[in-house]
Amino acid sequence: MSSTQKLHVLFACSEAEPLAKVGGLGDVAGALPAEIMRTAGEQVDIRLIIPFHAVIKQKNPPVGLIGSFPIKTKAGQLLCDLYVTDLDGVITYLLDSDGINHNSPVYYGDASLDGRKYAQFSVALLEAMRFIDWQINILHANDWHSALAVYALKDLYQADPFFIHTKAILTVHNLPYNGFGADAAMTDLGFTPCRDPDLPDWARLTPLPLGLAAADRIVTVSPGYAEEILTPDYGCGLDGFLRLHQEKLSGIVNGIDLEKWNPETDEYIGHPYSIDRLHSKQLNKLDLQRELGLEMNPELPLFTVVSRLDFQKGIGLIFDAIPDLAHQNWQLVILGTGAKELEERARDIAAAYPHKIISIQKYDDVLSHKLYASGDIFLMPSLYEPCGLSQMIAMRYGNIPVARATGGLKNTIIDFYASPENATGFLFAEKSAEGLKNALESALNVFKNKQIWYRLQRNAMSADFSWRRSALQYLQIYQELSQNSI
């Protein structure tokens, strides 16, 4: 690549913080493109595209309308509006149309409505590039919501000179969410079932597997998860396909936004602190205890959970394990919403132990900062975890994770028993309440030894979770792919 020839990269995603965030995917799209831009300097022009969700409209960010263009459907055509805004210096396009927006939530939670929204988004984002005449070298898609754009390059646009040099990378943040239910919308947009013999039959009109089949490179968000998805236990029926195509699969661990998540400058907490001023962390605990009506005692170990209440997160293990520890002194605060059954169990257990356990069922960014800052022990017993950001945020706040040894948790937490001197948390392997209970008991024991606990906190707080490392690895892939594309 010559110095005058910038690599054009389009980063496509369903959410991006601070415009729209449902989970870690929003954190990633809100931070990674900007970090890639800063790291690459003049070499890369990276832009972001997301749907113009209702929640973004409510925030009323400064946007400019670029114009309108059609995408073809069986019934005729669908008019799309393209807007532009700025996200941390990254040119960010917002796509709107009846199908993509409809004043809709980021995710409807209904397979066919989401299928239609994101199938149209995937085609429209490519047409948007033609509309502004910005030829892309690399399409960087994320999860099933934009995976169809990758497949479209091979299926709908195979012979289109505008996309002839476009290479595609697909980052998988969560394999089980494959976009099942999009087939009607796909047929309407002119997609044909994929004939790749390596794919299972159920996948021939399913967005994520089609993206995997069409992508030049597949990245998942940790090396640990990249290995796990090659096995039937974690592969969601795609492990066979992935094993056959291992050469294009790798894992890159996410980072966290070190400015947003900084205990020294955090505006949402009453008492900023650092490794050298950890006594102030206890003042945050006292604040939280007061705010939630818990006994105010800085010596009591405070367990915290900040999570979607989802099967994935192993939340049920917490409810099963915690009664066995009830004879010990601790407090537990759970912040999260999600599956009705888990919300109900969280309410029940909080009612059963009113002086120990509080369940707060909402999405609350400010409160999440307070929990990370006040907590001593962060619970993350995920059944599977592609990367996980919460545990990295917790560590940055000296809130020591107790987590299952899976996916990105394995790659980001150093286990106390594997390496006591360098440890940043506690890992357990068994997918059981017993496994979690034993790990929590270990953590409670170590917590009593102030010196060792301080070492854990110091290690955790000084770990490098910057986006820079991930950005460099993605850039390496962009460069490898672009060698043949321009």
335 binds, among ligand GLC, ligand ADP, none (CB under 5 to 8 A by kind): ligand ADP
Classify 1 as helix, strand or coil: coil
Q: Do 412 and 469 meet the contact criterion of CB atoms below 8 Å apart?
A: no
In angstroms, rounded to a whole number, what is the distance separating the alpha carbons of residues 23 and 337?
Answer: 12
Residue 363 sits in the site that holds ligand ADP (CB under 6 A):
yes
364 binds, among ligand ADP, ligand GLC, none (CB under 5 to 8 A by kind): ligand ADP
Residues of span 391-450 touching ligand GLC by CB under 6 A = 408
* Residue of 133, 141, 308 lying closest to 219 (CA atoms): 141
276 pairs with which residues across the strands?
none
306 binds, among ligand ADP, ligand GLC, none (CB under 5 to 8 A by kind): ligand ADP
Binding window for ligand ADP (CB under 6 A); candidates: 5-13, 199-207, 306-314, 423-431: 306-314
**DSSP-derived secondary structure for 269-323:** SSS---GGGTHHHHHHHHHHHHHHT----TTS-EEEEES-B-GGGTHHHHHHHGG
Q: Do 274 and 264 meet the contact criterion of CB atoms below 8 Å apart?
A: yes
Can you tell me which residue has the tokens 């997918």? 431
Residue 33 sits in the site that holds ligand GLC (CB under 6 A):
no
State which of residues 386, 401, 425, 435 lies at the interface with ligand GLC (CB under 6 A).
Answer: 386
Q: What is the chain's alpha carbon radius of gyration, rounded to the nearest angstrom?
A: 23
Residue 107 sits in the site that holds ligand ADP (CB under 6 A):
no
State which of residues 388, 401, 425, 435 lies at the interface with ligand GLC (CB under 6 A).
Answer: 388
In angstroms, rounded to a whole number, what is the distance separating the alpha carbons of residues 399 and 395?
Answer: 5
* Minimum gap (Å) between residue 269 Cβ and ligand ADP: 14
Binding window for ligand GLC (CB under 6 A); candidates: 19-27, 40-48, 184-192, 321-329: 19-27
Minimum CB distance to ligand GLC smaller for 26 or for 301 = 26
Minimum CB distance to ligand ADP smaller for 27 or for 376 = 27
Binding window for ligand ADP (CB under 6 A); candidates: 22-30, 69-77, 321-329, 448-456: 22-30
Binding pattern for the stretch 274-313 against ligand GLC, x by CB under 6 A and - elsewhere: ----------------------------------------
Largest CA distance in the chain: 70
409 binds, among ligand GLC, ligand ADP, none (CB under 5 to 8 A by kind): none
Can you tell me which residue has the tokens 């999600």? 338
From the centroid of its chain, how far is CA 458?
26
Q: Do 395 and 401 meet the contact criterion of CB atoms below 8 Å apart?
A: yes
In angstroms, rounded to a whole number, what is the distance separating the alpha carbons of residues 460 and 261?
Answer: 14
Residue 220 sits in the site that holds ligand ADP (CB under 6 A):
no
* Residue of 315, 370, 353, 369 lying closest to 337 (CA atoms): 315
Sign of the torsion angle spanned by Cα atoms 255, 250, 46, 62 = negative
Residue type, 479: Q
In angstroms, rounded to a whole number, what is the distance separating the alpha carbons of residues 425 and 403?
Answer: 8
State which of residues 7, 12, 28, 29 lies at the interface with ligand GLC (CB under 6 A).
Answer: 28
Helix ranges (H only) for 159-261 are: 183-188, 207-214, 223-228, 239-244
* Minimum gap (Å) between residue 141 Cβ and ligand ADP: 17
Nearest-10 Cα torsion for 237, 241, 245, 251: -10
Residue 305 sits in the site that holds ligand ADP (CB under 6 A):
no
Binding window for ligand GLC (CB under 6 A); candidates: 31-39, 193-201, 383-391, 440-448: 383-391
* Minimum gap (Å) between residue 143 Cβ and ligand GLC: 8
Binding pattern for the stretch 375-394 against ligand ADP, x by CB under 6 A and - elsewhere: ------------xxxx--x-
Minimum CB distance to ligand ADP smaller for 188 or for 287 = 287
In angstroms, rounded to a whole number, what is the distance separating the alpha carbons of residues 374 and 399?
Answer: 8
Residue 365 sits in the site that holds ligand ADP (CB under 6 A):
yes
Site size for ligand ADP (CB under 6 A): 19
In angstroms, rounded to a whole number, what is the distance separating the alpha carbons of residues 348 and 90?
Answer: 45
| Binding residues vs ligand GLC (CB under 6 A) | 23-25, 28, 173-174, 221, 254, 385-389, 408
Q: Which residues are near ligand ADP by CB under 6 A?
A: 23-25, 27, 306-308, 335-337, 363-365, 368, 387-390, 393
